[in-house]
Structures are given as C-alpha cells and as structure tokens.
Amino acid sequence: MVRAETADRIEPVGGDVVQLRFVGRDDGTIDGHLLAESIQGLVEFVSAMAKAGVYGEGPAPEVRIRPIQKGSTVFEAVLEWAANNPDTALTAAGMAGGALTTLGSVTVRAIRAGVRTFSRTISDFEILETGNYKVTWSDGRSEEVSPEIFAIINKPSLQVRKAVAKLQAPLSGDASELQVRSAPKATPTEQIIEEVPPAIVADVSDYRAAAAVDAVPEETTEVYADVEAQLRSIDFEGRQWRVAALGQARMATITDSEFMSEVLGGLALHHDDIFRVTIREVTVSTEGKRDRVTWTVTKVVRTREGRRDEGHPAAAAQVD
C-alpha cells in the first residue's frame, strides 16, 4: 500500500520498461558487440544510481532485458523491485511536488541528466522548495532533478562516466541517434515508440563527449584498526616513520599526539618493539590503477617492549 507523503515516492508495485531505440541504418540492424555494450552500460548505470540513493534506500531494482526481435534496433529493459523487497520503493524519489512516480521515469530522468552532464556544463542551478534542484545547462535548457541526481551530475564518478559512454556505444558505429523512453511494463514496443515522447534524444556528439572525458583520479579510504605493527625509522622534521604492518612496510605520518609527546619526551624505542596501531589508508586510483597509497597512523600503543638496540634507527627517538 502506498501512503501519501510530501516527498516523492516510487510506486512499489508492478514494473516499468526503459526503452532504448537506436536510429541509423536503413536495414534496421545494429552491431551486436556495441548493442551488448549498451545493455551492460544500462545495468551499470542503474547500479550506480542505486548506490547514490536515487531509488531510495536498499538494493538496486532488478534489470531484466527482453528478447531482442530479429532486425530490431530497439532493446527494452524491465525494471522491477525484487519480490522480497517491495518496501524499498517507499522512499524519496526524483520528481517534484510529492508526486507518485515510477522506476522508469526516475531512470530516464537520471539517464538524461547523465548524458547531458558530459556534452554540456551546468551554467546555473537553484534549490526549489521541494528540495529538488532546477538545473540550467549551457545550451539554455532547464530541468528539475533530485538532490541525489544533482550530486552525481555535479561531480560524476568514473563508474558513472564509463556507464554513460557504454550506454551510448552504438552511436560510435552506424547509429546516429539514441531515443530513450519509459512506459508501464505491459505497453507494447510499437505503442511506446508511437505514443511516448522520448525523454532524451542523444546523438554522436553526446557519445563522444562521454567517451572522451579524461579519467579523473578517485580517492578511497580504508581504516585498519588495532593491527600489529613495528616502527622501523623516523624523520622528525616530516614526522615520517617507516611502519611495518599488514604484510608490508610504508612511510607513514603519525598523528597520535599522546604517543608523539612521549617520543619527544625521551621514550626509548627498541629494535623489536611490538605495537598495536590504527592505520588510515588513502588510495588514489585512475581507471582502476593505483597511483598513490598514503598511510596515516592515528593511534599507537606499545604492547611489547623489545631488547635495547642502540644501532636501530628508531633508537634516535630518544631526544634531549
């Protein structure tokens, strides 16, 4: 049952069709590899939207591809909530005025904004009373999007960039135009084409803009709490220590002020001291390749004092 709310709500029953129609060759055919890439792009795009909260809380809706008719340049994806997860739909969605909306309409709005964000720039935006954003593009067009979609198009991730390019892949071949529509699941293909205006019409320039976007480095953070470590050496000027932990050794910055005060106060460090530490690891990657890994040690506790070794670099931690 759907309750009335001031926020927008996605209809929790039934399902919708998102239709992608490629226009180009007179013989009505399309390269199979490019079509497969487009299908993969749609699935990846829906997954990215779900992670960003576009469909509300919980997992992504299920995406099922209907059998493609022989000689057709149309493929249709059926979006439905999993049978055991209907309540996921009862959360905020991306339309205005607290309206009841559908999976299909939310998805095509997200696709439209995703395609435009690479071939155009946001020239202006305003926050509406509903909490949604009115975005004005560099070509003068305006549209309303949810806060979740705005966050995506304002700073698109590498995953979204790749998915949008894949989704339009046939435009790199014989297709000259992509039309995206949505309709209730039971609507016949031809009826959708004839009666439903496309939510967006993309062309070759839109594909090229998405595919040509320079890869943007992405930063991820992992925190490893209470791991065993040894401190190998120290550089007081830069507070860079060589820390052996997690099966590797890296230069790290120690930000534990209590531990650093003890060190500067004359704490004796030995060759085989054992510590329990918390490491914040920041990894910067470009297109899945790690460019840089940085360690910051935020907590240091010595759990075993080793034998004294004046020759060990850490022994220099004893200062006047």
Whole-angstrom Cα distance, residue 108 to residue 113? 9
- Is there a single domain that holds both residue 205 and residue 233? no
Average pLDDT (67-96) is 60
- Is there a single domain that holds both residue 77 and residue 200? yes
Q: State the pLDDT at residue 120.
A: 86
Q: State the pLDDT at residue 311.
A: 46
Average pLDDT (251-264) is 90
How is residue 106 written in tokens?
């939310």
- Is there a single domain that holds both residue 141 and residue 280? no
Residue 4 lies in a domain: no
- Is there a single domain that holds both residue 65 and residue 188? yes
Report the mean per-residue pLDDT for the chain: 80
Residue 3 lies in a domain: no
Length of the chain measured in residues: 320
Residue 106 lies in a domain: yes
Domain span at residue 270 reads 218-317
How many structural domains is the chain composed of? 2
Instruction: Pick the range with the lowest mean pLDDT from 17-31, 191-205, 301-315.
Output: 301-315
Nearest to 134 by CA among 163, 94, 171: 94
pLDDT digits (tens, 9 = 90+) for 104-162: 888 898 999 999 988 888 889 999 988 899 999 988 889 998 898 998 888 888 889 89
- 93 near 109, Cβ under 8 Å? no
More confident residue, 296 or 270: 296
More confident residue, 41 or 58: 41
